[in-house]
Amino acid sequence: MLLVMDVGNTNTVIGVYQGEKLLSDWRIRTEKEATIDELGILLRNLFQAQGLTLEPGTDLIISCVVPPMVNTLEGFSQRYLQVRPFWVGPGIKTGMPIHYDNPREVGADRIVNAVAAYEQVHGAVIVVDFGTATTFDVVSRQGEYLGGVIAPGVMISCEALFLKASKLPRVEIFVKPKSIIAKDTISSMNAGIIYGYVGLVDGIVSRIKESLRDGVVRVIATGGLACLIASETKSIDCVDDYLTLKGLKIIYERNRPRREK
């Protein structure tokens, strides 16, 4: 089996593969203070709930943008799986040239998504990831990572609105607004948040395409709020909730022979 983990600032996405088949996947809250054993117990419970066993010898590949979690994840892998994990970062073979002023600055999750997206379309592609930040990653039709855009995430913007506007209540943003012209405060906030991000996505994607001039450019969305926002945009072609997990598996396969030597 292969365990794949994408550790983000807000959520951690986990998947387990048997060959080409994704047996199960989970999205859990990232706990920066978790211990090695707390992480091990959590993973064992998740596996058992799906009729799976967390076995020693299970390979593990991790993309992580939370430095305090690195030692915990390394310790978990060695104690519970008895293997050294693959880390997506400098020195690992991705199969994708990184055209960035300092490639080490690019978040591991962004490269993973770019690899998976290019593997799907084999052409120019933009990945829009609705995570803690909303990121736009651009890949040329030759399969080169060209860079991208980082904007505040949906939840970050919501928190700023709630904290700075004392009379505005917290709202449930996971519901499509009934109308752009709202008749009450909560609906007004909901419409502003959802359609505000729709406009942000369409505007940025449009500018990227104008700058890229690379023929047909596909746009793939992923992340927790991708379905809600993407359904209202004009620019997103499809949503892939498993894009990051697929990218981690692809990168694992590209590095596995080197590890077995």
Q: What is the mean pLDDT of residues 188-201?
A: 90
**Confidence at 166, pLDDT banded by 50, 70, 90:** low
113 contacts 127 by C-beta, under 8 angstroms: yes
Give mean pLDDT, residues 203-225: 92
C-alpha closest to that of 194 among 173, 179, 210, 224: 173
Q: What is the mean pLDDT of residues 159-176?
A: 71
Cα separation, 127 vs 218, in Å, equals 9
What are the CA-CA distances from residue 140 to residues 25, 64, 74, 153 (Å)? 30, 25, 34, 25
pLDDT of residue 169: 66
- pLDDT, residue 259, reads 46
Split at pLDDT 50, 70, 90, the class of 12 is very high
Q: Is pLDDT larger for residue 35 or for residue 170?
A: 35
| Predicted structure pTM score | 0.90
Q: Which of 58-72, 103-117, 168-182 has the lowest mean pLDDT?
A: 168-182
Domain with CATH 3.30.420.40 in the chain: 2-87, 103-246
As a whole number of Å, the CA-based R_g of the chain is: 19
Q: Which of 59, 109, 137, 240 is catalytic?
A: 109
Query: For 205-210, what is the mean pLDDT?
Result: 96
- pLDDT-based confidence at residue 159 (cuts at 50, 70, 90): confident
Q: Taking 80 as the threshold, does the pLDDT of residue 163 lie above it?
A: no
Pick from 111-125, 141-155, 178-192: least confident: 178-192
d(C-alpha 59, C-alpha 137), whole Å: 28
Residue 174 in this model has a pLDDT that exceeds 90: no
pLDDT at residue 25, rounded to an integer:
96
pLDDT at residue 173 greater than cutoff 70: no
Please state the rounded mean pLDDT for residues 139-148. Answer: 95
CATH class of 2-87: alpha beta
Establish whether 109 is a catalytic residue.
Answer: yes
* 39: pLDDT strictly greater than 80: yes
* The token pair that represents 151 in the structure block: 């904007």
Structure confidence at residue 146 (pLDDT): 96
Torsion, Cα of 130, 131, 132, 136 (10° steps): -60
Identify the band that residue 218 occupies on the pLDDT scale cut at 50, 70 and 90: very high
103-246: CATH topology is Nucleotidyltransferase; domain 5 (3.30.420)
| Pairing mode of beta strands 133-139, 59-64 | unpaired
pLDDT-based confidence at residue 62 (cuts at 50, 70, 90) = very high
pLDDT cut 70: percent of the chain above it = 95
